[in-house]
């Protein structure tokens, strides 16, 4: 009441009565900007700011000092509070995930223990015996879904939707149920810093891997990233969407053709003829699931493609559940039959190993999501080490170049100009223009890049020590710095 008595009157220049003047929005804006640049300016710098910034010129140095002090204090309090909240959200989501995983594991243990008891009982009582009805269903449950044969259906939307729904069910039973006997992947400890919880299959047809984890991205964004397989799966050469059918429930059924590079010169590449079903569950989770289609489905077919071995994808996919506070809980199942019969016997373990699938595909997906999520949360600072997106792009390009040279597909411009007849050493040449993009480098000797042909020599050898396949890729043209980075490159 009496406070204003002498307040409103005098306002000469800047501070008249020295008491409590709210700074104008423009002043606050300027101060905020300066704070963002440097939250702790020195006395000299502060005086400089007053001189340089017109809008601040009527504020006393002492007040500027106080403003920065208070600003720092506010920031500290806000930061602490929001940090705590963020940690909280994250840990709570992790908890949820672990709780569900726990539940699944406990179910699996119960089932296995029961099954086991059945075996023990029947091993004791000699050869064959009266079946224990209560457990019998569990004993073979590990195979139920994997060997499931769906009846022949036509390629009508209804027929495809029927396959899609079935795929969804089978995928979910692998992702959250005990349809596959998942066992912990060797060397993967669940922990706050780990990529997630990773398991591999045991005793089912084909190879399967499963991972679950948290990422700080919205489900829609996650789906977007994961569906773009060539961007994160090193061995993925292409995914062509041949057809798109929207479904009544707001989902999408797509027919895809996908090619995977071979990881070695000793085996042909793989391709897939797939149905992909994207939909939303009742609880708001997004699901993308996939499976192979028969080569000959009435009305739709995908004839064999030269140089590729047709492989099978068993029901697989991504289950993405939003969690409060912006992130997603993600479950990934990859399950395929890579037709190991078609590769030399020594390489078969690579095509029959769930661990390899987990490392190359399943974990790679989670890793990609983690990296993108981190980029989003980080502020954009210059410098190579702080630009993961650029690093990722380079890494992907290197991989792609390597895989291209390794596979040497003619449609990418490669032609063989000689080999030693044993497939051990091959010389390729490529003169397509896109191979030279970005390669206009000069070397230290000052010669500019002038050649317009890439020459590549490759050799494969198998190390028996720890199933490894070493691939040497030697570019004979100096300008080919990109591929030169791969000398020598070890795969597997």
Q: Does 12 bind its own copies (CB under 8 A)?
A: no
Among 14, 48, 57, 70, binds DNA (CB under 7 A): 70
61-124 and 43-52 are packed helices; what angle lies between their axes, rounded to 10 degrees?
110
Q: Does 6 bind DNA (CB under 7 A)?
A: no
DSSP secondary structure letters along 452-486: --EEEEEEEEEETTTTEEEEEEEE-STT-HHHHTT
Identify which of 31, 8, 30, 32 has the alpha carbon closest to the alpha carbon of residue 19. 8
Stretch that binds its own copies, among 40-48, 122-130, 458-466, 480-488 (CB under 8 A): 122-130
**Alpha carbon distances (Å) from 294 to 150, 299, 304:** 11, 12, 12
Q: Does 2 bind its own copies (CB under 8 A)?
A: yes
Identify which of 220, 224, 176, 216 has the alpha carbon closest to the alpha carbon of residue 323. 216
The per-residue b/e assignment along 238-275, b for 16 or more CB within 10 angstroms, e otherwise, is: ebeeeeebebeeebebbbbebbbbbbbbbbbbbbbbbb
Q: Does 73 bind DNA (CB under 7 A)?
A: yes
Select the binding partner of residue 197 from DNA, its own copies, none (C-beta < 5 to 8 A, by kind).
its own copies
Q: Does 17 bind its own copies (CB under 8 A)?
A: yes
Q: Does 23 bind DNA (CB under 7 A)?
A: yes
Q: Does 112 bind its own copies (CB under 8 A)?
A: yes
Q: CA angle 180-199-464, nearest 5°?
A: 110
Min dist CB 51 to DNA, Å, is: 16
Q: Does 68 bind DNA (CB under 7 A)?
A: yes
Residue 207's SS3 state is strand
Q: Does 14 bind its own copies (CB under 8 A)?
A: no
- The C-alpha atoms of residue 188 and residue 304 are separated, in whole angstroms, by 38
Select the binding partner of residue 72 from its own copies, DNA, none (C-beta < 5 to 8 A, by kind).
DNA
Among 12, 36, 37, 42, binds DNA (CB under 7 A): 42
Q: Does 468 bind its own copies (CB under 8 A)?
A: no
Backbone angles phi, psi at 287, to 5 degrees: -130, 135
Burial class (CB in 10 A: 0-12, 13-18, 19+), 406: buried
Stretch that binds its own copies, among 49-57, 106-114, 275-283, 366-374 (CB under 8 A): 106-114
Select the binding partner of residue 202 from its own copies, DNA, none (C-beta < 5 to 8 A, by kind).
its own copies
Per CB under 7 A, residues contacting DNA are 3-4, 7, 15, 18-23, 28, 40, 42-43, 62-63, 65-74, 76
Per CB under 8 A, residues contacting its own copies are 1-3, 5-7, 10, 15-19, 62, 77, 80-81, 84-85, 87-88, 91-92, 94-95, 98-99, 101-103, 105-110, 112-113, 115-117, 119-120, 122-123, 126-127, 181-184, 189-192, 197, 199, 202-203
């Amino acid at each position: 009441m009496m406070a204003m008595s002498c307040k409103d009157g005098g306002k000469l220049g800047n501070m008249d009565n020295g008491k409590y003047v709210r700074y104008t929005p423009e002043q606050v804006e300027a101060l905020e900007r300066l704070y963002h640049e440097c939250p702790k300016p020195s006395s000299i710098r502060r005086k400089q700011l007053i001189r340089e910034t017109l809008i601040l010129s009527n504020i006393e140095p002492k007040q500027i000092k106080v403003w920065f002090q208070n600003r720092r204090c506010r920031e500290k309090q806000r930061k602490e509070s929001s940090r705590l909240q963020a940690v909280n959200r994250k840990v709570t989501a992790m908890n949820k995930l672990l709780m569900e995983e726990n539940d699944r594991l406990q179910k699996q243990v119960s089932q296995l223990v029961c099954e086991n008891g059945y075996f023990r009982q029947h091993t004791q009582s000699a050869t064959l015996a009266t079946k224990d009805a209560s457990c019998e269903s569990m004993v073979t449950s590990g195979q139920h879904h994997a060997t499931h044969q769906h009846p022949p259906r036509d390629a009508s939307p209804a027929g495809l939707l029927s396959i899609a729904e079935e795929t969804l069910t089978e995928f979910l039973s692998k992702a959250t149920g005990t349809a596959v006997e998942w066992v912990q992947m060797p060397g993967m400890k669940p922990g706050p810093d780990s990529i997630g919880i990773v398991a591999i299959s045991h005793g089912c047809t084909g190879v399967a891997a499963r991972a679950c984890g948290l990422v700080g991205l919205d489900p829609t964004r996650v789906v977007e990233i994961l569906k773009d397989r060539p961007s994160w799966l090193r061995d993925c050469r292409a995914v062509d969407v041949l057809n798109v059918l929207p479904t009544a429930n707001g989902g999408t059924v797509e027919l895809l053709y996908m090619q995977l590079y071979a990881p070695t010169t000793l085996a042909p590449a793989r391709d897939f003829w797939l149905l992909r079903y994207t939909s939303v569950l009742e609880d708001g989770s997004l699901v993308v699931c996939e499976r192979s289609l028969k080569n000959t489905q009435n009305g739709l077919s995908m004839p064999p493609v030269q140089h590729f071995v047709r492989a099978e994808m068993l029901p697989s996919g991504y289950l993405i559940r939003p969690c409060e506070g912006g992130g997603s809980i993600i479950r990934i199942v990859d399950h395929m039959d890579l037709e190991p019969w078609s590769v030399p016997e020594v390489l078969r373990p690579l095509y029959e190993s769930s661990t390899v699938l987990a490392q190359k595909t399943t974990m790679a997906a989670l890793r990609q999501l983690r990296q993108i999520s981190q980029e989003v949360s980080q502020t954009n600072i210059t410098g190579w080490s702080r630009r993961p997106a650029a690093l990722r792009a380079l890494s992907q390009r290197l991989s792609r170049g390597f895989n291209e040279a390794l596979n040497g597909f003619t449609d990418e411009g490669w032609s063989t100009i000689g080999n030693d007849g044993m497939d051990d050493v091959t010389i390729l040449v490529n003169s397509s223009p896109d191979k030279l993009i970005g390669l206009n480098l000069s070397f230290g000797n000052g010669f500019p890049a002038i050649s317009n042909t890439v020459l590549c020599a490759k050799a494969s050898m198998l190390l028996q020590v720890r199933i490894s396949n070493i691939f040497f890729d030697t570019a004979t043209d100096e300008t080919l710095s990109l591929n030169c980075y791969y000398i020598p490159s070890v795969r597997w």
